[in-house]
Structure 1
Amino acid sequence: MEYNHDDYTIRFARPEDLEALIQVEAECFPAAEAAGRESFQARLEIFPDSFLVAELADGGRIIGFINGAVTDARTISDDMFEKADLHNANGAYQSIFGLDVVEAFRRRGVAAALMNRMIETARERGKKGLILTCKDRLIHYYEKFGYVNLGLSQSVHGGAVWYDMILEF
């Protein structure tokens, strides 16, 4: 699956993307919140079809990505971030663990294109919807896609305060 834009292509992640994914994550999240090498390796092995990257058309540099396991839960629990084997391909909800775009390409619609493609993919696969956690400053951003704020999350991932969001079809 490829989804083309003028400057970049959205495609499924591949094992050889690992180093680039680690670099993008390190640029986008504080160390306490960033996924590490082992997490990304497991995600690429266990749910590559729930892991999309935005890659520059003129050189193949990965400038962003979106990923998450599929689950029957309506909210994300902290153990899901580290235990990729909790992924249930037949689950009801596509979760979003991370939506990352490197700073030089922010405010150009890359994150929105990644999110919209993940929403389309979940809909095509017959999921009930998508779930994510976010910080309060991003609630309004995700509401633009149709997500609804369920309130303060039980998640304490990275020591931050998170809010549960859900988009139901």
Structure 2
Amino acid sequence: MTSLHSDLKVRPMAVADLDAVLRIQAACYTAIEPESRESLQAKLQAAPDTCFVAVADRQPVAYAIAVPVAFPELPVLDQPHCDPPPHADALYLHDVAVSPTLRGSGAAGALVRRVMDAARHGQWRQMCLIAIQGSSSYWARHGFREVAPREMAAKLASYGADARLMWRGAEAGA
């Protein structure tokens, strides 16, 4: 486990964490419809080594979900299945969310670092994400830069008007 501010710790996500993850997701997302339990569980089962929770008093208070992809082919939002391609070359940081009461605790940064470590130690040469709700400047501080493949326009629109596809090399400094 990774230690954070106060009594927060980062550990791998488990299926038993999904109720808490769904509560955190519902509290954090206003620009898009939150994903279903089925969709989140499919991502966790497809990539258990790249999904994490930050816990306080044994309760998840933040989470990160990342899955392997063949960039720029990204999963559709709220799909009931997740089948990473055998030729995956990127780790897609699908979601990072922190309970509103613990924002500023360092949980998000610790989760991002843990996912970046997983990418560096895995087979992925790059990382990508879709920044929503005005978060692109946060991701830029972690080394992500905006990219705009034309074939992504429709998919990005499903994430809200301000959605931005962002990319970085997996070996880049955090």
With normalisation by structure 2, the TM-score equals 0.84
Give the paired residue count. Answer: 165
125 and 90 in structure 1: CA distance in 2 versus 1, 3 angstrom threshold: farther
Q: What SS does the aligned partner of 1:19 have? A: helix
Q: Confirm whether residue 62 of structure 1 aligns to residue 65 of structure 2.
A: no
- State how far apart, in whole Å, the 1-side matches of 2:42 and 2:116 are: 22
Task: Give per-residue Cα distances to partners, 1:94-116, cap 9 Å, x unaligned.
Answer: 10111100111102221111101
> C-alpha distance in 2, partners of 1:136/1:37?
22
TM-score normalized by the length of structure 1? 0.86
Does the 8 Å contact 2:134/2:162 carry over to 1?
no
Q: Percent identity?
A: 21
- In the alignment, is residue 91 of structure 1 matched against residue 92 of structure 2? no
Q: Distance in 2 between matches of 1:75 and 1:109?
A: 31
The offset of 1:75, in angstroms, is 5.7
Aligned residue in 1 for 2:37:
37
Residue matched to 2:98: 101
Q: Report the equivalent of 1:3.
A: 2
What does 1:90-169 correspond to in 2, within 5 Å? 91-135=88-132, 137-151=134-148, 153-154=152-153, 155-168=156-169, 169=171
Cα distance, 1:157 vs structure 2: 2.2
Gaps of 5+ in 1: none
